[in-house]
Amino acid sequence: MNSEQFVGIDVCKSHLDVAVYPSGQQERWDNNDSGIEQLIKFVKSLPVVLIVLEATGGYESVAASMLSAKALPVVVVNPRLVRNFAKATGKLAKTDQIDAHSIAHFASAVRPEQRQLKSEHMELLAALNTRRRQIISMLVAEKNRLHTAPKANQKNIGHHIKWLEKNLEQIDKDTQKHIRNSPIWCKDDDILRSYKGIGPVSSSSLLSDLPELGKLDSKKITALVGLAPFNCDSGQYRGRRRIWGGRSHVRKTLYMATQSAKRFNPQIKVFYDRLRDAGKPHKVAMTACMRKMLITLNAMLKNKTYWSQGYKSLDFEHGC
């Protein structure tokens, strides 16, 4: 038997389906603390190289955290990657057991790179930012309804809008308090917000949704976010380069920040105007500006430098 074993875990709300590749072992445990403890004992009895789980809307977070806490090699991957891999290997049927085996096979064949999982504090910040996006979405929907709602409903909708706005204000206060209570985040938040175009909301979103910022090189960070242009060539055909994949929440954050930066940040404004004068479409120019902003922010956090018409090292304490 091959000494290297790879574990795939298909996660749902109630249980965890576990498969081992290439041995073919399969188990099922409840998705709770006692079930995960049994999973940990099982995994520790194997010569495991890698444990892979799919991201399933948060149901995987407890299992991933507990496995990581035991210093086990855990990776959480995009389910689309595993599904495409399963189709490529001829597996068209889909059940929890089949999915677990596909994940284990994917772990063996692809060996996705391990990244540090979010800490408890990072998870809390991410939860606050997720809730903020949800409230914003509800506010937009309610304000749109208000314009066309009959008079009988307008008062109720108005009260709901005020309640949502009050909650949004409280979420923002809680988020800033959470950031300022962490010495590391406090400094990183100040560095990010020194860049014209990045405000408190953009900064907190980048800190929670892109913890790799400042830890990867420019090519990897742009690809991770989905701002790296990919070739589309075949034979003599040379297609247009397009961005694809990545973290949509981070791209939305950078898009809104770039809208502000192209008005008030001289670095981005000059770059955007030059691209537009060269005949580039608005979307192409905006994407290039977003990429430039991301690379700059990445370098600033990596070097722990503040921005002011470029870079300058910090010679004074930035109070938190």
Give pLDDT tens digits for 151-184: 999 999 999 999 999 999 999 999 999 998 888 8
Tokens of 268: 């981005």
Mean pLDDT over 284-303 rounds to 94
Check: CB of residue 207 under 8 Å from CB of residue 184: no
User: How far apart are alpha carbons 221 and 216 in whole angstroms?
Assistant: 6
Give pLDDT tens digits for 113-150: 887 777 778 888 888 999 999 999 999 999 999 989 99
Tokens of 249: 């929440």
pLDDT in the model for residue 115: 78
pLDDT in the model for residue 109: 93
Lookup result for tokens 């929670």:
208
User: How far apart are alpha carbons 118 and 123 in whole angstroms?
Assistant: 6
Res. 6: pLDDT tops 80: yes
User: How far apart are alpha carbons 201 and 233 in whole angstroms?
Assistant: 39
Give pLDDT tens digits for 236-267: 788 777 777 888 889 999 999 999 999 999 99
Mean pLDDT over 293-312 rounds to 82
User: How far apart are alpha carbons 111 and 294 in whole angstroms?
Assistant: 27
List the single range of 36-50, 94-108, 220-234 with lowest mean pLDDT: 220-234
Res. 318: pLDDT tops 60: no
Mean pLDDT over 30-56 rounds to 92
List the single range of 75-79, 189-193, 250-254, 309-313 with lowest mean pLDDT: 309-313
User: How far apart are alpha carbons 180 and 163 in whole angstroms?
Assistant: 26
Share of the chain above pLDDT 90, in %: 65
pLDDT in the model for residue 294: 96
HSE value, Cβ hemisphere, 13 Å, CA-based, for 262: 19
List the single range of 32-46, 239-253, 280-294 with lowest mean pLDDT: 239-253
Average pLDDT, the chain: 89
pLDDT in the model for residue 320: 52
Q: How far is CA 263 from CA 3, 253, 286, 297, in A?
A: 59, 16, 12, 18
Res. 88: pLDDT tops 50: yes
The torsion angles phi and psi of 149, rounded to 5 degrees, stand at -75, 145
pLDDT in the model for residue 2: 55
Mean pLDDT over 43-55 rounds to 92
pLDDT in the model for residue 314: 41
DSSP line for the chain: --S-EEEEEEE-SSEEEEEEETT--EEEEESSHHHHHHHHHHHHTS-EEEEEEE--TTTTHHHHHHHHHTT--EEEE-HHHHHHHHHHTT-----HHHHHHHHHHHHHHH-PPP-PPPPHHHHHHHHHHHHHHHHHHHHHHHHHHHHHS-HHHHHHHHHHHHHHHHHHHHHHHHHHHHHHTSHHHHHHHHHHHTSTT--HHHHHHHHHH-TTTTTS-HHHHHHHHT-S-B--EETTEE---B---S-HHHHHHHHHHHHHHHHH-HHHHHHHHHHHHTT--HHHHHHHHHHHHHHHHHHHHHHT-EESSSEE---S----
The torsion angles phi and psi of 307, rounded to 5 degrees, stand at -100, 135
Res. 310: pLDDT tops 60: no
Mean pLDDT over 88-113 rounds to 92
pLDDT in the model for residue 193: 93
pLDDT in the model for residue 4: 86
Q: How far is CA 22 from CA 43, 79, 89, 98, 271, in A?
A: 14, 21, 15, 14, 52
pLDDT in the model for residue 35: 92
User: How far apart are alpha carbons 17 and 159 in whole angstroms?
Assistant: 45
**Start-to-end CA span in the chain (Å):** 57
